Amino acid sequence: MLTNDFSQNTIDRFYALEKELSALYPCSIHIHQLDDSIFKDLPKLGANHTTYFRLKLASLLDTSVKTCLYLDVDMLVLGDLRALFALDLQDKVLAAVYDERTQSKRILKSLNLEYKDIAFCKTYFNGGCMLINLEEFRKENLEQKCLELMPNYDLKAHDQDILNALVQGQKVLKLPYEYNIFVHSYSFVRANDERKKFDVDYSRKELNFALKNPIILHFTNEHKAWFAPHNYINEKGEFLGEIWWRYALQTPIFKDELYAEYKNLQEALELQEPYTDEIAFLMIQCTKSFLGYLQMPFVIFQAIKRYEHDKTGLKKRKLEEHNLGFELRKIAFKAYWRRKEGKMLSLPYQAYRTQLRVRKYGLNKLKEE
């Protein structure tokens, strides 16, 4: 575990967790407390610099450790990972799932005239799950190279950008999508054999298999299960965030405080969700006719304004198309918050594009098989 701020009490509890888990399967928990001051001049992710800690894995771990599986904290493992460790990486630096829209020509912009811009390769990977060949990582001195280069580049995706600048092409082994499924893919995801401007570089067959057989779910961006457990559902109608909570509430040592957090979250959702569901419902209704699209800006503006401070009388709705409703309400709120920029006027167009994508490339694709 990589951290910068565990208290001694938290550390002791993790060691107690180690003892509990070892009764089921032999394991050990190692906690690496790092000083993030060396990254203080780099862009933060959230409120800290801990994302950069993974760059130091090769020097933190003993040289006898040849391979390391790194996982982000916002992931949920649902399947057996042993197949990953059976992979022969040979001279590749790492294995990972490709990130979104890798076909786009993206450049890592230099902030220093002494350094050139770097073109990203089509093997641009997501750093949330990486099987790292530590021998190659050390041999290529990648930790030091990353530390030297990062201050001189505009890191839109933090250390993920610099890793992709240095580890490209044949140095990357592409993992199946089921090892790092971005949860919003259950809303819609466009495959590389469906259109030139695809979302992820996997075929529809590969994506459908992954979505039905997830091994690792990645709760990226605003989709954290501990804040928003009801964002997306899978093809079985299960909330992905509730699956995360199902396992979290079984965690030894920590389950009592996690239950208290879950109870508080549910109480907050009981107040909030009737409001957000109402906006989602209205958005779905508006997409059912041309007149609805014309009325959409007025209807949504009035609804958000009316219920923003007074949610009395609203009841929780079961949406006919949950994932579509979530995507539509998301763009509705964004348009409302930026209404002074005229975004409410473009809401019908954004809604039209969104409903097309969800209905054409969403869970319906799984039902077609």
Mean pLDDT for 188-200 is 94
290-311 pLDDT, tens digit each:
999 999 999 999 999 998 888 7
Mean pLDDT for 313-329 is 88
Mean pLDDT for 10-17 is 96
CB 185 within 8 Å of CB 98: no
Specify the DSSP element, H or E, that contains 181. strand 181-182
Task: Dihedral sign for Cα 160, 103, 361, 203, please.
Answer: negative
* pLDDT at residue 11 greater than cutoff 80: yes
With H, G, I as helix, E, B as strand and everything else as coil, classify residue 65. coil
Higher pLDDT, 368 or 291: 291
- pLDDT score of 239: 96
Mean pLDDT for 268-274 is 92
34-218 to CATH, choices 3.40.50.150, 3.60.110.10, 3.40.50.2300, 3.90.550.10: 3.90.550.10
215-246 pLDDT, tens digit each:
999 999 888 999 999 999 999 999 999 999 99
Amino acid at 225: A
| Largest pairwise CA distance in the chain | 67
For residue 89, which of 151, 170, 6, 15 has the smallest C-alpha distance? 170
Domain boundaries, the chain: 34-218, 267-367
* pLDDT at residue 104 greater than cutoff 80: no
CA 321 to chain centre: 22
Q: What is the pTM assigned to this prediction? A: 0.94
* pLDDT at residue 287 greater than cutoff 80: yes
21-75 pLDDT, tens digit each:
999 999 999 999 998 888 988 988 877 899 999 999 999 999 999 999 999 999 9
Percentage, residues of the chain above pLDDT 90 = 87
Amino acid at 8: Q
* pLDDT at residue 369 greater than cutoff 70: no
Q: For residue 361, with 0-12 CB atoms within 10 Å meaning exposed, 13-18 middle and 19 or more buried, which class applies? A: buried
CB 226 within 8 Å of CB 254: no
